[in-house]
Amino acid sequence: MTIQEELSATIQELVQPGKGILAADESHPTIAKRFKAIGVESAEEKRREYRSLIFSAAGLGEFISGVILFEETLGQNSLDNVPIPKLLASNGIVPGIKVDKGKQPLVNAPGDEITLGLDGLEDRLEIYKHQGARFAKWRDVFHISETLPSRQAVEANAEVLARYAAICQSMGIVPIVEPEVLIDGNHTIERCTDVSETVIREVFHALYRHKVNLEYMILKPSMVTPGKDTPKASPEQVAKATLDVFRRAVPAAVPGICFLSGGQTPEEATVNLNAMNSMGPQPWALSFSYGRALQEPAQKAWAGNLDNGQEAQAAILKRARLNGAARSGNYRQEMED
């Protein structure tokens, strides 16, 4: 199979009607914070137990097309001693991998950050691909204030995202490009609209410069919302503001936009996605790539106790099913019960 055939096959599997992507790529500090909230210590064996449980949920592949894994998980076996990538593939789910190495302050740009990990990326991708990963994810973040993000941060982070995407495609790995406009702060939805459009436009300018094939990538952006310290917008307001930005800034060649949940509650993330898909057909599939918004109920149900495995599986399957319905605008509030 040629590299182009590999990329095409992976995209077709990831962007399927009624399905989205599960982000289970939490770094050690992030998963420790999530586990602390349910009273569980984040030891390697506990991380393996929890992730093995949710990946083994019967029927998960009906609503989840791909799973983004952390490097540790990619090399682990399930509770039944099956390599995690093989477990996912056997359920019709494409294994993926988070490849960035986290963020640090951007020099000479107070308040802004830059993501690391380009050094040695080709060598790591070769190993990940051998382990079964077929797509990758890289996250850059953009803070919002009256002055942030700076032009320097917008350009630098877009350049990094484009270089990462080009490297992935050269190796037959589909890149998920994640420019996250953070929800932190007290900004208005109008300010988020302006920043989001500026960021997305710059990302696609950089992707064009680096000759990234738009047909073989997925965009993972934030929804356009007010800051979390201000009153929430209605689902209709979020949907309209978000689609206004993406119609202006995202080329139709991109096959799928898989939104991150970005601080929304599980129900909010589903309702807002449903509102977008209720506004008629768009040039791209509008899907989800949620982490906490899919996993939080399952983590609470599990609570570190293997005996609660069935409850945890039922919880993640429910949220996956509801977001699968939101993919076509068919989610209804009564489905929560």
List, by residue number, the catalytic residues. 178, 220
149 prior amide bond cis, ω within 30: yes
Interatomic CA distance for residues 284 and 303, integer angstroms: 38
Q: Which residues pair with 202 in a beta bridge?
A: none
Extended strands (E) in 159-255: 174-181, 218-219
Count other Cβ atoms within 10 Å, centred on residue 26: 22
Q: Are 210 and 196 in contact (CB under 8 A)?
A: no
- What letter would DSSP give residue 83? B
- What letter would DSSP give residue 237? H
Question: Could you tell me what percentage of the chain is helix, strand and coil, using 3-state DSSP and rounding each to the nearest 5?
Answer: 50, 15, 35
- Polymer length in residues for the chain: 337
Q: Are 141 and 126 in contact (CB under 8 A)?
A: no
Q: Are 96 and 126 in contact (CB under 8 A)?
A: no
The SS3 assignment for 191 reads: helix
Cα-trace Rg, the chain: 19
Helix axis angle, 189-209 to 151-170, nearest 10°: 50
What are the C-alpha distances in Å from 186 to residues 228, 310, 317?
Answer: 6, 40, 34
Helix axis angle, 151-170 to 3-14, nearest 10°: 110
**What are φ and ψ of residue 216, in 5° steps?**
-120, 40
